Amino acid sequence: MLLFLVNKILNGFLKAETDRELTVWLLMGFSVAFVVFVIISRYLTRHYDHDDDDIDIDEFL
């Protein structure tokens, strides 16, 4: 599914004839990249809990 979206966006980007079409495809590409980034970051924060890595603020005062 993700590869299909990337392929579709790249094809649209390469075939864009006007600046408006190019802008639309760029915005769609950045939107998909942002959504993928959010999904991956949420996955990593759920599966790698860093409670043991808490910094004690008194060490730095």
- pLDDT tens readout for residues 8-59: 888 888 888 888 988 998 899 899 999 999 999 988 887 776 665 566 666 6
- The number of distinct structural domains making up the chain is 1
pTM comes to 0.62
> Which amino acid, one-letter code, is at 23?
T
Residue 57 lies in a domain: no
Residue 61 lies in a domain: no
Question: Helix, strand, or coil here: 48?
Answer: coil
- How far is the C-alpha of 54 from the C-alpha of 15, rounded, in Å? 50
Task: Quote the pLDDT of residue 31.
Answer: 93
Look up the domain containing 20 and give its range: 2-46
Residue 58 lies in a domain: no
Residue 10 lies in a domain: yes
Task: Quote the pLDDT of residue 49.
Answer: 62
- Within 10 Å of residue 25's Cβ, how many Cβ atoms? 19
- The answer to whether 13 and 27 have CB atoms below 8 angstroms apart is no
